A and B are shown apart, each in its own frame.
Chain A
Amino acid sequence: MEKEIGQQGEKSVDFEKVAASQEFQQLLKAKKRFLIPLTIFFLVFYFMLPVLTSYTTILNTPAIGSITWTWVYAFAQFIMTWVLCILYVKKAGTFDHMAKQIIENHEEEGEQGL
């Protein structure tokens, strides 16, 4: 696999070496720290709506005028989706930067090795 890429005239990367490197582990950790809590959050927030509407009627009380909390909660899901989208894109910029650094470092090492 690595050889094939080398033959195409591209720089080769030793995947195992990268995977074991501290910077790569840091990237994975940073991603996990961001992705896992937020994924749990949005799934819980999402499923809370059908759970609440199916088992209780507490959301049926009016919030603003005739608009009940059910609708407010439903709109909140839209806001949540957009906000988490924006947050992710911002954060992903950092991940991109870290990934680029890792690849650059290891490509250099790879060349020296040859």
Chain B
Amino acid sequence: MSVTALILFVLIVGMTLVITYWAAKRTKTASEFYTAGGGLTGWQNGLAIAGDYLSAASFLGIAGAIALSGFDGFFYSIGYLVAYLVVLYIVAEPLRNLGKYTIADMINARFDQKKVRGVAALSTLTIVIFYMIAQLVGAGALIQLLLGIDYWVAVLLVGVMMTTYVIFGGMTATSWVQITKAVLLMLGTVIISFLVLLKFNFNVFTMFDEMKTLTPLGEDYLNPGVKYKNPIDTISMMAALVLGTAGLPHILMRFFTVKDAKTARSSVVTATWVVGIFYILTIFLGFGAAAFVGSEEIISANAAGNMAAPLLAKALGGDFLMSFVSAVAFATILAVVAGLVLSGASAFAHDIYGQIIKKGKMTEKQQMLAARYASIGVAVLSIILALFAQKMNVAFLVSLAFCVAASANLPVIIFTIYWKKFNTAGAMAGMLTGLITALVLVAISPSVLNPEPGAAILVGNPIFPLTNPAIVSIPAGFLAAYIGTVVSSKRDEKKYAEVAVKANTGVK
């Protein structure tokens, strides 16, 4: 590791610790811990959402995917962005109006039952743990590459940092680390994109012309079909991307950090602009890496292409730019995992311990203590799992998280808000079916079972043909929620009147 890199790392980490110190003094109640007291403005929360969303997988993963497989890599960018329309049109405002800290709160606004809250918390924890292992495994591998330190040291380093942000600074620290990182990440991306465009004389058409000959794929580089050859699998993946976001606990939790639905709306709009511009720029990152680093060098650094962006930075701006980009990537990982710890902790401390075990009868001090212990618990569990999961395919863990989010959470969120007849049985059936279908189908998919030794976790023939089960598990979640409702005769339309009025008007 160069001295420049070290200085930049220390600077960025130092900045996040200053933020945490400042935030810690403002985090005294459970509401401040989980939601920064609901006091973020629209643009602050918008940037924080963008920060949560632009994980290392987005920045490093998509840049690498576009560099190596051209248009097919860009599918991710499209899916991740259009997902915001689902969030804005269907979920954001009712969620803000009904919830307090967690998705379970929002579902419980309608069904005041422990078992519903328990299952909602279970699906949140499942998503968070899978997502978190993916981030930590990715982080470990990345930091190992960037800084040349051992995998386990890297995982521990990230683990200790994220736990520090969360237990001392709660959501306030997490949000501001997120905002800082979003700004730095955008800055880095804009600089690299500018340098790439400079090489092509600021002519996008020249760039596309030249890309036809600059990669081993030739003209195919610009056409779809390089990476995704199975149509159903492609569509299934696209379904998970577009519908999964609206069920991701750490993204949904961000809507409780603003004061009302109107601010929730404006934060989605800010996030959509930032995220949209970022994803457009991923083309320059990907093309640039393919053109100026070359696929051979990218693959030799990391087979999945994760090093494309840092290598491009080096090719264009030398050691300094590469160090900067690497430090930003590190900050990105830290911020995202902190957000994940927080949403996992809220499901555990607020839903399971606070509402189910203690029945909501806790003092402010007890709630804070529970939240902090739960944060440490979630962090330690993820670190241990990540240490064992080093060899696991990260993409499969992320796709699983998105799939569970879309299959278990989204159907129930939608029906809770919009369907008058929906009832407890439907909610339970929907969440459990979505969760179990997604988990089981992934367990028997080519991501886990592959006849070639080493290509997947287990050796064997896949029973389910698709790598991403969303196309089956999402409809299964909706269908089960519907059937559960119809089969059970229980209705509570009085409660629905309350939920509908609250969701649509914001009255408390």
User: Hey, which bits of chain A sit against chain B, CB under 8 A?
Assistant: 1, 5, 10, 13, 15-16, 18-20, 24, 27-28, 31, 35, 38-39, 42-43, 46-47, 49-51, 53-55, 57, 59-60, 64-68, 70-71, 74, 77-78, 80-82, 84-85, 88-89, 92, 95-96, 99-100, 102-103
Closest to B500 in A: A19
Partner of B208, one of A10, A35, A65, A74: A65
Give residues 32-88 of B contacting A (CB, 8 Å): 71, 74-75, 78-79, 81-82, 84-86, 88
Check B78 against A74 for contact (C-beta < 8 Å): yes
Check B88 against A88 for contact (C-beta < 8 Å): yes
Nearest CB in chain B: distance from A55 CB, A: 6
8 sampled A-B residue pairs with Cβ under 8 A: A5-B508, A35-B89, A43-B242, A50-B238, A53-B234, A55-B231, A85-B269, A85-B272
Given known A55-B231, A71-B71, contact A99–B224 (CB-CB < 8 A) = no
- Lowest 6 CB-CB distances: which A-B pairs, in order? A54-B231, A19-B497, A53-B224, A15-B498, A99-B505, A66-B208
Nearest CB in chain B: distance from A34 CB, A: 9
Check B501 against A81 for contact (C-beta < 8 Å): no
Give residues 468-508 of B contacting A (CB, 8 Å): 494, 496-498, 500-502, 504-508
Which residues on A sit within 8 Å (CB–CB) of B502? Answer: 15
Check B507 against A103 for contact (C-beta < 8 Å): yes
Check B81 against A78 for contact (C-beta < 8 Å): yes
Other A-B pairs, 5, CB within 8 Å; known A15-B497, A27-B504: A1-B498, A18-B497, A47-B238, A66-B208, A67-B205
Whether, in the assembled complex, B11 has its beta carbon less than 8 Å from a beta carbon of chain A, the answer is no
Whether, in the assembled complex, B235 has its beta carbon less than 8 Å from a beta carbon of chain A, the answer is yes
Check A74 against B228 for contact (C-beta < 8 Å): no
Given known A68-B223, A85-B269, A89-B265, contact A54–B228 (CB-CB < 8 A) = yes
Nearest CB in chain A: distance from B100 CB, A: 14
Whether, in the assembled complex, B209 has its beta carbon less than 8 Å from a beta carbon of chain A, the answer is yes
Closest to A54 in B: B231
Check A84 against B85 for contact (C-beta < 8 Å): yes
CA distance A20 to B223 in the complex (A): 54
CA distance A46 to B269 in the complex (A): 19
Check A54 against B234 for contact (C-beta < 8 Å): yes
Which residues on B sit within 8 Å (CB–CB) of A39? Answer: 85-86, 89-90
Check A49 against B505 for contact (C-beta < 8 Å): no
CA distance A65 to B276 in the complex (A): 24
Partner of B82, one of A24, A55, A77, A99: A77
Whether, in the assembled complex, B273 has its beta carbon less than 8 Å from a beta carbon of chain A, the answer is yes
Which residues on A sit within 8 Å (CB–CB) of B500? Answer: 19, 28
CA distance A27 to B159 in the complex (A): 47
Nearest CB in chain B: distance from A22 CB, A: 14
User: Hey, which bits of chain B sit against chain A, CB under 8 A?
Assistant: 71, 74-75, 78-79, 81-82, 84-86, 88-90, 93, 204-205, 208-209, 211-212, 222-225, 228, 231, 234-235, 238-239, 242, 262, 265-266, 268-269, 272-273, 276, 279-280, 494, 496-498, 500-502, 504-508
Check B82 against A81 for contact (C-beta < 8 Å): yes
Check A81 against B223 for contact (C-beta < 8 Å): no
Nearest CB in chain A: distance from B270 CB, A: 10
CA distance A15 to B85 in the complex (A): 29
Which residues on A sit within 8 Å (CB–CB) of B262? Answer: 92, 96
Check B209 against A46 for contact (C-beta < 8 Å): no
Check A66 against B225 for contact (C-beta < 8 Å): no
Check B209 against A66 for contact (C-beta < 8 Å): yes
Partner of A66, one of B205, B242, B507: B205
Which residues on B sit within 8 Å (CB–CB) of A60? Answer: 223-224
Check A102 against B272 for contact (C-beta < 8 Å): no
Given known A54-B228, A60-B223, contact A18–B212 (CB-CB < 8 A) = no
Check A49 against B208 for contact (C-beta < 8 Å): no
Closest to B505 in A: A99
CA distance A51 to B242 in the complex (A): 15
Nearest CB in chain A: distance from B466 CB, A: 13
Closest to A38 in B: B89
Nearest CB in chain A: distance from B502 CB, A: 8
CA distance A65 to B85 in the complex (A): 31
CA distance A88 to B272 in the complex (A): 13
Nearest CB in chain A: distance from B473 CB, A: 17
CA distance A67 to B71 in the complex (A): 11
Which residues on A sit within 8 Å (CB–CB) of B74? Answer: 74
CA distance A57 to B363 in the complex (A): 63
Which residues on A sit within 8 Å (CB–CB) of B85? Answer: 39, 42, 81, 84-85
Which residues on A sit within 8 Å (CB–CB) of B75? Answer: 50
Check A19 against B89 for contact (C-beta < 8 Å): no
Which residues on A sit within 8 Å (CB–CB) of B239? Answer: 47
Closest to A43 in B: B242
Which residues on A sit within 8 Å (CB–CB) of B209? Answer: 65-66
CA distance A31 to B505 in the complex (A): 12
CA distance A27 to B494 in the complex (A): 19
Check B508 against A10 for contact (C-beta < 8 Å): yes
Closest to B496 in A: A19
Given known A15-B501, A20-B497, A74-B78, contact A47–B272 (CB-CB < 8 A) = no
Closest to B209 in A: A66
Which residues on B sit within 8 Å (CB–CB) of A74? Answer: 71, 74, 78
Which of B82, B272, B496 has the most A CB atoms < 10 Å from its CB? B82
Which residues on B sit within 8 Å (CB–CB) of A66? Answer: 205, 208-209, 211-212, 222
CA distance A74 to B384 in the complex (A): 40
Nearest CB in chain B: distance from A78 CB, A: 6
CA distance A89 to B271 in the complex (A): 14
Check A102 against B228 for contact (C-beta < 8 Å): no
Check B71 against A70 for contact (C-beta < 8 Å): yes
CA distance A59 to B209 in the complex (A): 17
